[in-house]
Each structure stands twice: as structure tokens, then as C-alpha cells.
């Protein structure tokens, strides 16, 4: 039975203990058994002085967006805010290959031959991942689906509640991606505007000259954006017709974008 917390609430100490022991933050409440009060060292409290969270609503999310829009950055924040895993197809491929699963061995052989991983293999890998316990309360999918066939398959597995379309202008994407610089030996990454090295063009620790990867050059970026827009347009239309697509402006700071996302999904 759900109840309101009494006006006097329950002690800060009790709330702190409850959060520490359970990892949960009270938001929806039900009356707890008296023995919980004694267990938590607050035996002098009334049974109405403690509230326990009810299970939260499951949230299944898909993130769509062009390279440089910040999907990975926002997903890292959102997975903690919503307590659901961030599932990237790139990470899935790498994990399965590293762990030498049957699917991992298959993907490794396909990539070694220079071929594209077929839909059915990617779909099966995602299906297996969504069956893991940490995804029971929802998921954030990044990089899947990429095709209508994959979107249909996802609907048959676990229909997304919201598909978040990351919106960012080409000029801003170009500024973000073309400004990246990398130390070749360590892989340490900088940005000439947002995260510059102490000395221009030089790695902070090794003193090596920084390089600009071919993928981060303007011509390559524009080509990637063209490919993304052509391949993703059908998916955007697909989910907009379903009524579950929401557009998210990604031009601000990550923490502000997260707040906007939470508001959109409320």
C-alpha cells in the first residue's frame, strides 16, 4: 500500500543508512515492517517513520545521433541517473570477441574477412545482452538499431519506451570532431578548444607531437555525416510514426543536456 510520508518525515540518519545499505533513494513509498526499524538502529521510531522505495518504472531507451553529438557522454550520465545499463554495440562486439563466445568467434571471423556483421548476428548479441539481470529494469541502446530490420527485431524483444534523437548542427559537430588531437603512443586524447594540452601540439606527459586522425579531418567528418543522415533517416521516420521519438538539443553542457533529457522523459 502506498502512503505519504508523515509531515515530520524520518531522521536524516535513517535515510542515510537506508541509502547506504540498499543503494536506493526514496521516491515512492510503502510502510515498512517494524523489524526493519530495529535492524536499522531506530527502534524508537513509529512504523510510519520509515519509507521504502517501490520498484521504479522500467525505462527502455534508444539513443540515435550523429558522430560528435555526445551520445556516449550523455549515456554515461543517464545510466547512473536512471539506474539502467548503457549498451553499445561496439562494446558488445569487443566483449564477445574478448570472452571468445560463440557469437564473438563468429564476429571475429567476419571482420577478419573484411565483411559487415549481418543483422541476425547483431540482433542475437543484443538479445542475449538484454536478457542479463542488470537490464531487467530497462536499457540505453547506443548503436542499435541501425536498420528497420533491427528495429523490428528490437520491438519483438523489448519495445523501447522512448527513442532519443540527438540534434546538433553540422558546424558544431565539425568543431567538436575536427578539434580532436591524439598522442599516438598512449592514445591520450585532447581537444584544441575544450581540452587543450599544456603546450600546443604536444602531449602533456610524453612530450610527443599530437596528431589529427584521418577520421577527424573535415572531409572525412562530412562524409560520415552524409552516411549517417542517409542511413538513419528511415529509422527516425519509423520511430516518429510510432510516436516515441523525442528530439534532444545537444548544444549545451552535458549536465544541462541530462536535465533536458530527464524533463523530456518525465
For residue 246, the SS3 value is strand
The Cα diameter of the chain in Å comes to 70
Q: Which residues of 172-201 are buried (b: 16+ CB within 10 A; e: fewer)?
A: ebbebbbbbbbbeeeebebebeeeebeeee
pLDDT tens profile 73-116: 999 999 999 999 999 998 999 999 999 999 999 999 998 998 88
* DSSP symbols for 96-156: HHHTT-HHHHHHHHHHHTTPPPPHHHHHHHHHHHHTSGGGTTEEEEES---SHHHHHHHHH
Active-site position among 129, 176, 180, 181: 180
CA gap 221, 219 in Å, rounded = 5
Residue-level pLDDT at 1: 36
Q: In angstroms, rounded to a whole number, what is the distance separating the alpha carbons of residues 93 and 126?
A: 10
Residues sharing a CB contact under 8 Å with residue 29, sequence separation 6 or more, in sequence order: 2, 3, 4, 5, 51, 52, 53, 54
How far apart CA 15 and CA 21 sit, in angstroms, is 10
pLDDT at 57: 74
Active-site hit among 158, 224, 240, 259: 224
Lowest mean pLDDT of 52-56, 73-77, 236-240, 261-265, name the range. 52-56
Does residue 170 have an active-site annotation? Answer: no
- Catalytic residue, chosen from 146, 158, 188, 240, is 146
Give the span between the Cα atoms of 61 and 42, in whole angstroms: 39
Catalytic one of 71, 129, 176, 181: 71
Residue 145: cis peptide before it, omega within 30 degrees of 0: yes
pLDDT of residue 56: 60
Q: What integer is the mean pLDDT of 13-30?
A: 42
Q: Is the pTM of this model over 0.85?
A: no
DSSP for 149-191?
A: HHHHHHHHHH--SEEEEEE--HHHHHHHHHTEEE-TTT--EEE
User: How far is 47 from 35, CA to CA, in rounded Å?
Assistant: 9
* pLDDT for 3 beyond 80: no
Does 180 participate in catalysis according to the annotation? Answer: yes
Residue 114 and residue 170 in contact, taking contact as beta carbons nearer than 8 Å: no
Q: Tell whether domain 59-265 is in CATH 3.40.50.1860.
A: no
pLDDT attached to residue 116: 84
**What are the boundaries of each domain within the chain?**
12-53, 59-265
pLDDT digits (tens, 9 = 90+) for 176-195: 999 999 999 988 999 999 89
Return phi, psi of residue 75, to 5°. -60, -40
Cβ contact 163:245 at 8 Å: yes
What pLDDT score does 226 carry? 93
Helix (H, G, I), strand (E, B) or coil at 14: helix
- Give percent above pLDDT 90 in the chain: 69
Catalytic residue among 19, 98, 170, 213: 213
Amino acid at each position: 500500500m502506498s502512503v505519504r510520508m508523515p509531515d515530520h518525515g524520518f531522521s536524516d540518519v535513517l535515510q542515510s543508512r537506508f541509502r547506504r545499505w540498499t543503494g536506493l533513494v526514496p521516491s515512492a513509498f510503502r510502510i515498512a515492517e517494524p523489524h526493519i526499524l530495529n535492524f536499522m538502529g531506530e527502534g524508537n521510531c513509529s512504523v510510519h517513520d520509515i519509507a521504502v522505495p517501490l520498484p521504479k518504472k522500467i525505462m527502455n531507451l534508444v539513443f540515435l545521433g550523429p558522430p560528435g553529438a555526445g551520445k556516449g557522454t550523455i549515456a554515461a550520465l543517464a545510466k547512473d541517473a536512471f539506474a539502467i545499463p548503457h549498451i553499445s554495440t561496439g562494446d558488445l562486439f569487443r566483449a564477445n570477441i574478448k570472452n571468445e563466445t560463440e557469437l564473438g568467434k563468429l564476429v571475429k571471423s567476419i571482420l577478419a574477412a573484411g565483411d559487415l556483421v549481418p543483422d541476425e548476428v547483431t540482433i542475437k548479441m543484443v538479445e542475449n545482452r538484454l536478457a542479463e539481470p542488470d537490464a531487467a529494469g530497462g536499457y540505453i541502446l547506443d548503436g542499435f538499431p541501425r536498420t528497420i530490420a533491427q528495429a523490428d527485431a528490437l520491438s519483438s524483444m523489448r519495445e523501447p519506451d522512448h527513442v532519443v534523437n540527438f540534434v546538433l548542427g553540422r558546424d558544431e559537430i565539425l568543431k567538436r570532431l575536427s578539434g580532436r588531437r591524439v598522442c599516438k603512443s598512449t592514445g591520450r586524447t585532447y581537444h584544441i578548444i575544450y581540452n587543450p594540452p599544456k603546450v600546443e601540439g604536444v602531449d602533456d606527459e610524453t612530450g610527443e607531437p599530437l596528431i589529427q586522425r584521418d577520421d577527424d579531418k573535415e572531409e572525412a567528418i562530412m562524409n560520415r555525416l552524409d552516411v549517417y543522415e542517409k542511413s538513419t533517416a528511415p529509422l527516425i521516420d519509423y520511430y516518429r510514426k510510432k510516436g516515441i521519438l523525442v528530439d534532444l538539443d545537444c548544444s549545451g553542457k552535458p549536465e544541462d543536456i541530462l536535465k533536458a533529457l530527464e524533463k523530456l522523459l518525465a
